[in-house]
């Protein structure tokens, strides 16, 4: 169900079984939109298992998952990454086929797509970029940048100062705009850091 990289397994084995309380399990909790989830990893003891959690054995490590998250984590990979300013565990869900992920529907989704199509994407197309709607959860929207925007050093500024302002002006009920882009996977950013 879950796969651990060698580095992640090595780091977890170093942490498990240490401390005042016997830490035996890795809890993986999911937050955010199912189309663009974020994950929190916590080491816990047996007494901390919740009623709504199930135990899963993966590569010799016992993982606690909320029963509602099991499907999302099917086939996921857990890695330990070290970057310039950060290090830690990272969960990479298995990416479903694009056709398996339904397009967001509803009045907010329709209005967001209209702003993206009419105002945003024509402006950033000159940079070889595009922004698409991935999900809507209540009044929160999840956007993904591609092309020249994916990995661009100016993507955060573009999103916050340009795209988010346009969206909030056209759709005042939006409470949050989330960028779910894998910026590290960008192969041709317009501006490089």
8 Å CB contact between 29 and 39: yes
The last residue of a domain, from among 43, 73, 97: 97
78 and 110 housed in the same domain: no
pTM of the entire predicted model? 0.56
Does any domain span residue 123? yes
122 with 65, same domain: the answer is no
82 or 165, higher pLDDT: 165
More confident site: 90 or 187: 90
For the chain, the average pLDDT equals: 83
End position of a domain, from candidates 97, 123, 149: 97
Q: Which of 62, 97, 132 is the last residue of a domain?
A: 97
End-to-end CA distance of the chain: 36
Asked whether residue 62 falls in the same domain as residue 123, the answer is no
In this structure, are residues 143 and 133 in contact, taking their beta carbons and an 8 Å threshold? Answer: yes
Residue 169 has a pLDDT of 95
pLDDT at 174: 95
Is there a single domain that holds both residue 107 and residue 174? yes
Percent over 70 (pLDDT), the chain: 87
Are 111 and 65 within one domain?
Answer: no
pLDDT, mean of residues 22-34: 80
Does residue 192 belong to any structural domain of this protein? no
pLDDT reported for residue 14: 80
% of the chain beyond a pLDDT of 90: 24
Confidence bin at 146 (pLDDT 50/70/90): confident
Task: Domain count for the chain, please give it.
Answer: 2
pLDDT in the model for residue 97: 42
Q: Does 88 lie in the same domain as 113?
A: no
Six-digit token string for 16: 């498990």
Q: Flag the least confident range among 50-59, 72-81, 95-104, 174-183.
A: 95-104
How far is 68 from 59, CA to CA, in rounded Å?
A: 22
120 and 158 in contact (C-beta within 8 Å)?
no
- Is a pLDDT exceeding 50 seen at residue 179? yes
The CATH number of residue 129's host domain is 3.30.300.130
pLDDT, tens digit, for every residue of 84-133? 777 888 888 776 544 445 788 999 999 999 999 999 988 888 878 889 99
- Give yes or no: residues 89 and 129 share one domain: no
Domain range enclosing 24: 2-97
């Amino acid at each position: 169900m879950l796969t651990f990289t060698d580095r992640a397994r090595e780091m977890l084995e170093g942490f498990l079984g240490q401390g005042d309380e016997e830490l035996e399990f890795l809890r993986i909790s999911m937050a955010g939109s199912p189309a663009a989830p974020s994950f929190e990893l916590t080491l816990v003891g047996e007494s901390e298992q919740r009623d709504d959690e199930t135990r899963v054995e993966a590569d010799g490590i016992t993982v606690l998952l909320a029963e509602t998250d099991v499907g999302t984590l099917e086939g996921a990979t857990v890695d330990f990454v070290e970057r310039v300013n950060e290090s830690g565990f990272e969960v990479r869900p298995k990416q479903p086929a694009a056709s398996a992920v339904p397009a967001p529907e509803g009045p907010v989704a329709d209005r967001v797509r209209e702003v993206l199509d009419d105002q945003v994407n024509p402006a950033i197309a000159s940079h070889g970029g595009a922004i698409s709607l991935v999900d809507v959860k209540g009044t929160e929207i999840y956007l993904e940048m591609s092309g020249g925007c994916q990995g661009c050093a100016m993507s955060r500024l573009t999103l916050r100062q340009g795209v988010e302002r346009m969206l909030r002006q056209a759709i005042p009920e939006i409470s949050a705009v989330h960028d779910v882009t894998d910026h590290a996977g960008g192969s041709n950013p317009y501006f490089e850091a």
